[in-house]
Amino acid sequence: MAAAIFPGTFDPVTNGHLDLIRRGLGLFDRVVVGVAKRDEKNPLFTHDERMEMMRRATQPLGGVEVREFTGLLVHFANQIGISTIIRGIRAVSDFEYEFQMALMNRRLDGAVETVFLMPSEQYTYLNSTVVKEIARLGGRVSGLVPLEVEQELARRFPLIDAPRAGARGT
């Protein structure tokens, strides 16, 4: 069974992340979403909250497993027996950083390969930092994140209107 890891902090998970997971499922039988525990990044959401939001967001997709990891990604890959990493590339600036990381991961473990995927055009501008900033300043994030994440952001930033369950899908 072909499998890959899609790692990140996912603070919070966006529809762009879900797009890449779906694309990964088109290439691999199974995608393990590795939610990194990186407190030094000062995440808005706790690790447990990020894990739960990712589980809920990926629940409708078959072939996705959500797992936490700390430390080096290559150690996590070895621990779970998967040697392929999926990374998203939105722009040339992403490529430079991701290329360096892929080469370093390969240096640390020559068996690990990185597959770069491009998101749908509608998500090329989207990242978690932008979503948090929009929510923090009272903007609507519908269509950028799953409904459950939008509701969580509304709880954190009361300036935005909380969406109602069943109002729309992801």
Along the chain (170 residues), what's the average pLDDT of each consecutive run of 10 residues?
95 98 98 91 93 97 96 97 97 91 96 96 94 93 95 85 53
Please confirm, yes or no, whether 128 is among the known catalytic residues: yes
How big is the CA angle at 158 (ends 43 and 162), to the nearest 5 degrees? Answer: 100
The two structure tokens encoding residue 58: 């990926």
| pLDDT number for residue 92 | 87
Of the candidates 41, 75, 156, 168, the residue annotated as catalytic is 41
Q: Compute CA 111 distance to the chain's CA centroid, rounded to the nearest angstrom.
A: 23
List C-alpha distances in Å: 101 to 98, 130, 135.
5, 22, 30
Please confirm, yes or no, whether 30 is among the known catalytic residues: no
Q: Compute CA 143 distance to the chain's CA centroid, rounded to the nearest angstrom.
A: 16
Sheet holding 3-8, edge to edge: 64-69, 30-36, 3-8, 84-88, 113-117
According to DSSP, residue 68 is labeled E
Of the candidates 23, 87, 128, 132, the residue annotated as catalytic is 128
Of the candidates 17, 23, 50, 132, the residue annotated as catalytic is 17
Amino acid identity of 43? P
Q: What pLDDT digit, counting tens, does each position of 51-62 carry?
A: 999 999 999 999
State pTM to two decimals.
0.90
| pLDDT number for residue 1 | 73
Of the candidates 22, 55, 90, 140, the residue annotated as catalytic is 90
Please report the domains of the chain, with CATH numbers, ordered by start residue. Answer: 3-124 (3.40.50.620)
CA–CA gap between residue 126 and residue 107 (Å, rounded): 30
| pLDDT number for residue 169 | 47
| pLDDT number for residue 163 | 59
The two structure tokens encoding residue 29: 């039988």
| pLDDT number for residue 41 | 76
The two structure tokens encoding residue 90: 């939105």
Please confirm, yes or no, whether 17 is among the known catalytic residues: yes
